[in-house]
Amino acid sequence: MNTVAPGQNETQPELNVERITELSEDDLAALCEAADAAIIEGGGFGWVNPPGRQALERYFRGVLLVPERELFIARLNGTPVGSAQLVRPPRNNEAQAFAATLMHSFIAPYARGHGLARLLTQRVEEGARALGYFALNLDVRETQEAAIRLYKSLGYVHWGTHPVYARVRSQTLSGYFFYKLLKSAPENTPSGKAAGTKDKAP
Ligand SMILES: CC(C)(COP(=O)(O)OP(=O)(O)OC[C@H]1O[C@@H](n2cnc3c(N)ncnc32)[C@H](O)[C@@H]1OP(=O)(O)O)[C@@H](O)C(=O)NCCC(=O)NCCS
């Protein structure tokens, strides 16, 4: 677990982010409450209307079962208040095997402004780097201004805009696509093969 501001000052909230592989009943309940509040407030996560507690519980339990997904939980004073997912490319996508995707990042409205989303994003980046990925992709609705500012401040590059990205309450919204290089890409070789690769035996 990665802990910041470890409670020496009573007034400083304790922030931490961890990658989890299982959820206790209490943590699941708090995470669903956080997601519910974020959806009602209108932020991200795909859902426009809260799907209900049971659907959210099934959703998070399901995420933990998907081999390509890693769930990171943000805690405020020990309680889950947000999450993000690191999604690995499918195995058949050899050409893009270097790039992972950061998806469904949110912090509950009642826990915002403490730096948790920044910490969550940095932990996901560290996780992606540790797995060997050298690029991280993400996309956001044009209306997610806090997220856009956060990702730009962390060095994400806005490389394109999808003009018909989402429909929210009868409005068509654009989507902004970002990437960040987590480490240098391997150099190209004159033959077109990545440095260090060998010819297969005929
Ligand atoms: C975006 C979001 C995750 C930020 O959560 P947060 O924990 O409040 O963010 P932090 O406290 O870590 O702030 C980090 C940076 O985000 C940006 N930011 C946060 N809140 C902001 C706001 N209200 N307005 C503008 N920028 C904001 C700033 O750049 C901030 O850095 P600074 O404090 O140095 O200025 C949260 O607002 C959210 O869940 N929004 C809805 C869902 C969403 O947009 N998800 C992302 C795309 S999937």
Q: What is the mean pLDDT of each run of 10 residues along the chain (202 residues)?
A: 53 95 97 96 83 96 97 98 97 94 97 98 98 97 96 98 95 97 86 50 34
Report whether 81 contacts 93 (CB < 8 A): no
Q: What is the C-alpha to C-alpha distance for residues 200 and 23, in angstroms, rounded to an integer?
A: 45
What pLDDT score was predicted for residue 44? 61
Strand partners, 136: 100, 180
Q: Give the per-residue pLDDT at 6.
A: 53
Q: How many domains does the chain have?
A: 1
Ligand 1 centroid to 147 CA: how many Å? 5
**201 within some domain:** no
In a domain, 199, yes or no: no
- Over residues 90-136, the pLDDT tens digits come to 999 999 999 999 999 999 999 999 999 999 999 999 999 999 999 99
Does some domain include residue 129? yes
| Shortest-distance Cα residue to atom 18 of ligand 1 | 146
User: Does residue 192 belong to any structural domain of this protein?
Assistant: no
Supply the range of the domain harboring residue 99.
2-181
Query: Is position 197 within any domain?
Result: no
The alpha helices in 42-138, defined as continuous H runs, are 53-65, 116-130
Measured by CA distance, the residue closest to atom 28 of ligand 1 is 150
Cα 45 to middle of ligand 1, angstroms:
14
Q: Would residue 63 count as lying in a domain?
A: yes
Report the distance separating Cα 27 and Cα 41, nearest Å.
21
Please indicate, yes or no, if residue 54 is contained in any of the structural domains. yes
In a domain, 89, yes or no: yes
Decide: 153 in ligand 1 pocket, CB within 6 A.
yes
Tell me the best of 101, 112, 156 to mutate to test the pocket of ligand 1, counting ligand atoms within 8 Å of each CB and taking the most: 112
* Among 161, 81, 85, 149, CA closest to 118: 149
Type and span of the H or E element at 72: strand 69-76
**How remote is the CA of residue 29 from the centroid of ligand 1, in Å?**
23
